[in-house]
Amino acid sequence: MVLHNCDFRRLLGTAQIRAYRSGEPFEEDEVLIVSGFYAYVRHPFYVAGFLILWGTAWTDLALATALFGSFYLVTGSRFEERRRKQLYGKNYHAYLNRVPAFFPCRGKAD
């Protein structure tokens, strides 16, 4: 399965909540994944969010939700990438240059 490298507890925030409640420091040393979907786009879960938002934008309210949700996802990706640049350094900068953020228009990364 392509998603076997993803830590869904971290994605959903439950790992952070568990660390906070137990008083333990949260480990920020997650592994940089560049295979699977991550070889084509840097934010595959956000792409899924865009597809869901825009695939259901058939009414005025759904269109407004898609616009707001897209803004939220793009803004969140900027914060996430800022943190990853600090965490992974030049490895992430090389990844940024090879792989697009949302739309797989440059082909597969090495």
* pLDDT mean over 35-61: 92
Pair of tokens at residue 60: 């005025």
Has residue 2 got a pLDDT over 50?
A: no
pTM as predicted: 0.70
SS (H, E, C) the chain: CHHHHCCHHHHHCHHHHHHHHHCCCCCCCCCCCCCHHHHCCCCHHHHHHHHHHHHCCCCHHHHHHHHHHHHHHHHHHHHHHHHHHHHHCHHHHHHHHHCCCCCCCCCCCC
pLDDT in tens, 54-66: 999 999 999 999 9
